[in-house]
Structures are given as C-alpha cells and as structure tokens.
Amino acid sequence: MIAHKVEFLIVGSYALAFHAQPRYTEDIDFWVSRSEENARRVREALEEFGISMGDEAARQLTEDKRLLQLGIPPRRVDILTFLDGCDWETATGRTIDGELSGLRVKVLSLKDYVLTKRASGRAKDLLDLELLREQIGELPGT
C-alpha cells in the first residue's frame, strides 16, 4: 500500500495498540480515501500481492459504507471506506505517526479512535473503550 501511495489510516485494534496495550485481533484494518485515484492505487497494490480485484469491487472503494475483507482470520485484511463518528478529512488532519513492521504509517488519533468506537456502539468496541480507560485514564471527549 505504501509503495503504491495509497492514502490510508491504520484503525481498529492496531490503532488501539498505538494508544495503549495491544490486544489480540484477527485482522488489520485500513481506512482508505474514497477517491477514484486512491481506489486505483489500492487495486494495483492488491494485484501486486496476487489478489485480483474486479471493476465492481474497485468501484465500491469510492463509495461510502463499504468494507472489503481479504483473507481469513487471523490473517484477514479489512479495507474500509468509512468509520462511524468521524469523517476522512477531519481524521487525516489529526493522525499520529506510527511504525508498523518497520514502515512509517498514519494512525487514527486517540480522539478519533474514541469517537468512532462510541459511534459504532458494538459491544466489542465499548469493551475496547473500557480497556483503554483502564490503561490511560480519562478518555478524550468524556
């Protein structure tokens, strides 16, 4: 993804690991920009790894509320075009710099991580917030 200049942020459990203690996860989540150019870059990056993406799947990367899941747990990659509770422009203005497998990446900020977990309302996301609260204390926006 980096070699193809894909615009993405690390989100989900890997983002949690940047802000607090890591926890077990079955996937890595990438939130990608929905531009047509970025969808082309994602497609090229995946093709380099032998994953053929049809025109329809590539087009869906330009739409809101899309999730593309590749592989099976515990080695699954999720590519998202949205996060509840936060928009792309705001989030990209507040990222933090991180390192993943020796590569420089942009990670969802703590504030936006909390916003998105609250907005989703899923039980596992609320548990992530409780874990985070136990480790770092008061959360942003509380």
Mean pLDDT over each residue of the chain, to the nearest integer = 94
Instruction: Establish if 89 belongs to a structural domain.
Output: yes
- Which pLDDT does position 4 carry in this prediction? 98
Instruction: Establish if 2 belongs to a structural domain.
Output: no
Q: What pLDDT band is residue 46 in, cutting at 50, 70 and 90?
A: very high
The least confident of 28-32, 81-85, 111-115, 134-138 is 134-138
Q: Which residues make Cβ contacts (< 8 Å) with residue 62, sequence separation at least 6?
A: 34, 35, 36, 39, 81
Name the residue range of residue 58's domain: 8-136
Residue 97 has pLDDT above 80, yes or no: yes
Find the angle CA(77)-CA(82)-CA(84) to the nearest 5 degrees. 115
Calculate the CA dihedral of residues 86, 91, 93, 95 and round it to 10 degrees: 150
Q: Say how many domains are in the chain.
A: 1
% of the chain surpassing 90 pLDDT: 87
**What is the CA 68 to chain-centroid distance, rounded?**
12
Q: What is the CATH number of the domain that holds 93?
A: 3.30.460
CA 37 vs CA 41, 42, 58, 127: distances in Å: 6, 9, 11, 36
Instruction: Establish if 92 belongs to a structural domain.
Output: yes
83, two tokens = 């996060």
Instruction: Establish if 3 belongs to a structural domain.
Output: no
Stated as kind and residue range, the H or E segment containing 130 is: helix 123-136
Q: Which residues make Cβ contacts (< 8 Å) with residue 110, sequence separation at least 6?
A: 19, 96, 139, 140
The mean per-residue pLDDT over the stretch 2-24 comes to 94
Residue 22 has pLDDT above 90, yes or no: no
Instruction: Establish if 61 belongs to a structural domain.
Output: yes
